Amino acid sequence: MQQNSEKVNITLKTVIYDMDSDEQETQEQSVAGEWIKKGDIDVLKYEEVIEEAGTIQNMITIRPERVSIRRTGAIQMNQQFQSGQKTENIYQHMHGNIHMETYSESITFTENTMPRMLEINYTMKLNGQLERKHQLKLQFSRRK
C-alpha cells in the first residue's frame, strides 16, 4: 500500500454547548503537523505544549467508518468516534482521570479538496455528569 507524507497546517476548533444554560464555549488552535495518506486512511500528527502539563503528541486517524483521536505524553486519551454509536474512554491528566462517554451523531470528512475538512457532532458526559453537545471542526492544508 502506497503511503504519502506531507507537512500541513492544521486548525482545530471545538464548540461545547451547555444545553441547560444555552451557553457555549469555543476553543481554537492552529498548529503545524504531518499528514500521512495510506490507502483510504488519513492520519494527522502534531505536538502541543500545555504550559502547566508539558508536551502532548496527538494522532488523529480518519477512516471511512470512524475517527480516533489519540493523545500521549502529559495527557493520555484514546477517543473513538463512530457515527450513531456510543463509545467510552478514560482521559488521564495530571489531576486524575475522567471517564468520557461519547455518542457520535455525525461524522463528515471532505477529502477530495484542499483544505480537507472533518466535522464531528457528538454529545459527551464526563464522569456521568450532565450531557453536553460538542462540535469538532478540523481543517488541514499543505504548508507552502
Question: In CATH, what number is assigned to the domain containing residue 21?
Answer: 2.40.128.20
65-74 mean pLDDT: 93
The answer, yes or no, to whether residue 11 has pLDDT greater than 60, is yes
pTM, full prediction: 0.91
Q: Which three cell numbers stand for residue 73?
A: 505524553
Instruction: Please tell me the predicted confidence (pLDDT) of residue 112.
Output: 82
Q: What are phi and psi of 16, to 5 degrees?
A: -115, 125
**Mean pLDDT estimate for the chain:** 91
Q: Which three cell numbers stand for residue 70?
A: 489519540
Instruction: Please tell me the predicted confidence (pLDDT) of residue 144.
Output: 75
User: How many domains does the chain fold into?
Assistant: 1
SS3 content of the chain, % helix, strand, coil (to 5): 0, 75, 25
pLDDT in tens, 115-144: 999 999 999 999 988 889 999 999 999 987
Q: Which three cell numbers stand for residue 83?
A: 457515527
Q: Is 40 left (phi over 0), alpha (psi -120 to 50) or beta?
A: alpha
Cα radius of gyration (the chain): 15
Q: Distance between terminal CA atoms of the chain?
A: 27
List the domain range (segments joined by +) for residue 63: 3-142
Whether 51 and 37 have beta carbons less than 8 Å apart is answered as no
